[in-house]
Amino acid sequence: MESSTLHTNQDRKTVINVDSILQAQSRRYKSTEVSKNILPEVDLGNLLLIDRQPVDPQELQSDIEISLQQLARDNTQWLINEIWKLPTQQMEDALLVQLPEPTTIVAREKPIPKPKPPTKWEQYAKAKGIQKRKRGKMTFDEKTQTYKRRWGYKSVTDDSNDWVKEVPENADPYEDQFEVAREAKKERIAKNELQRLRNIERRQKGFFNKFEASKGKSTKTKAAQEEVTKAIKDAQSSTASHGVFTKILPQEKRLRKAGVRRKLPPNLGDVKSERGAGLEIADKLRKAPILNIPKAVSMNPVEEDGKKSKKGRKSKGNFRQGKRAKMSNRNFSQKTKKSSAISRSKKK
C-alpha cells in the first residue's frame, strides 16, 4: 500500500488522505459488482452460467488473453454473487448453501437399461393370458386355527414337522415315507434352481443371438465352416509333435497354424546354396518312379485276377483268414501290379 501522508513542518500533524487509501484498495480488489447488458442465464443447481452477451470483436482482438480473462472473471463473479443471494446456514466454522434443483437437462451418461427379457414362466403366462393376482402373504391354517405363511419356512404346506405320515395305497409298505418326502423336496429345489439358472442364461446377451443363429441355418454358413476348420486345425496339431509329423489324408488339406508366420528365404541370400537346393529337388524328381497310368490300366487284368483268386482259395483251405490278413493280401497284390507298371523316366 502506498502511504500518502503529508507532513507539515509547522505543527507536525499527520493528515491522512482517506480517498487515496480507498482508491488504492479499489485498485487492488476489483468490484464484486458486474454489469451486463444482457442478463446471463444461471442454473445454480449445476453451478452453470450461460453468458448471452455478444462479444465485442474489437476489444477481443486488441488483447485476446486479457479480454478473455476479464470475461471469465466477470462471469464467475456473477455466479458467485448469485450463490450469495441464496439463504446460508452456519455449520460450525463453515457457511453452507443449499443449491436449488438443476434446471438444465444434461444428457445421460449411460444408455437407458434395456428391459429384462421375460422368464420362461412370464412367456408362458403371457401366451396363456394368465394375469398375476395379488395374494396375501399369510393364510389362515384350519388345523392350528392360526395365520401362517402361504409358502416357505413355517408355511401352511410345510409338513416337515409331521410325526406320522400316511402310506399311500399303491406305495411299497416298507418304503420310508419321510425319506420320500425329503427326496421330493430336494428334487423340487434342484428343479427350481435349474430353471432359475436357465432364465439367467436366457437373459445373457449372447444367448439369443446364438440360438437364433443356429436355428434353421445349415452348416454351410461361414461361422459353421470356420468352426469346422478350427476343429480340423486342432485335430491336426493335437499330437505329440504338435502336428509336425501328422500324416495328411489323401483329400485333406494341411492347414496353416494360426499365428505362425511362414519364413521365406531371403532374396539376396546365397545363390549357390539356393541352386544346390533346386538341383536336389530336380534330382529327386529324376529318381522318383513315375506311374504310367495308361500302361497300368492296359495291363492284362484277367490274368492278375485269376492268380489272386487262386491264391485266395488256396489260403482259405489251409487256415481261416482274418479280415486284416485279407486286407494286407490285397495291398500286396496291388503293390505287385504297381511295381510292374512303374517305369523310371530314365528308361525313356
Residues lying near another protein in the complex (CB under 8 A) are found at 262, 264-269, 271-272, 274-275, 277-279, 281-283, 285-286, 292, 294-295, 345, 348
Taking the complex as a whole, how short is the minimal distance between the CB of residue 63 and another protein, in angstroms? 54
Q: Choose between 91 and 264: whose C-beta lies nearer to another protein.
A: 264
Q: Choose between 313 and 347: whose C-beta lies nearer to another protein.
A: 347
Decide if 3 contacts 20 (C-beta within 8 A).
no
Taking the complex as a whole, how short is the minimal distance between the CB of residue 111 and another protein, in angstroms? 45
Q: Which three cell numbers stand for residue 152?
A: 416357505
Under the phi-then-psi rule, with left for phi > 0, alpha for psi from -120 to 50, and beta for the rest, what region is 36? beta
Q: Choose between 195 and 273: whose C-beta lies nearer to another protein.
A: 273
Taking the complex as a whole, how short is the minimal distance between the CB of residue 260 and another protein, in angstroms? 15
User: CB-side exposure of 338: number of CA atoms within 13 Å?
Assistant: 9
Q: Choose between 323 and 348: whose C-beta lies nearer to another protein.
A: 348
Taking the complex as a whole, how short is the minimal distance between the CB of residue 221 and another protein, in angstroms? 23
Q: Choose between 50 and 279: whose C-beta lies nearer to another protein.
A: 279
Taking the complex as a whole, how short is the minimal distance between the CB of residue 258 and another protein, in angstroms? 19
Burial 17-31 (b: 16+ CB within 10 A, else e): eeeeeeeeeeeeeee
Element at 161 (helix H, strand E): none
Q: Choose between 54 and 269: whose C-beta lies nearer to another protein.
A: 269
Q: Which three cell numbers stand for residue 5?
A: 501522508
User: How far is 134 from 143, CA to CA, in rounded Å?
Assistant: 24
**Burial status of residue 177 (CB atoms within 10 A of its CB: 0-12, 13-18, 19 or more):** middle
CA trace torsion 20, 24, 29, 31 (10° rounding): 30
Q: Choose between 282 and 325: whose C-beta lies nearer to another protein.
A: 282
Q: Choose between 186 and 256: whose C-beta lies nearer to another protein.
A: 256
Taking the complex as a whole, how short is the minimal distance between the CB of residue 287 and another protein, in angstroms? 9
Taking the complex as a whole, how short is the minimal distance between the CB of residue 271 and another protein, in angstroms? 5
User: CB-side exposure of 79: number of CA atoms within 13 Å?
Assistant: 17
Burial 102-125 (b: 16+ CB within 10 A, else e): eeeeeeeeeeeeeeeeebeeeeee
Taking the complex as a whole, how short is the minimal distance between the CB of residue 283 and another protein, in angstroms? 7
Under the phi-then-psi rule, with left for phi > 0, alpha for psi from -120 to 50, and beta for the rest, what region is 10? alpha
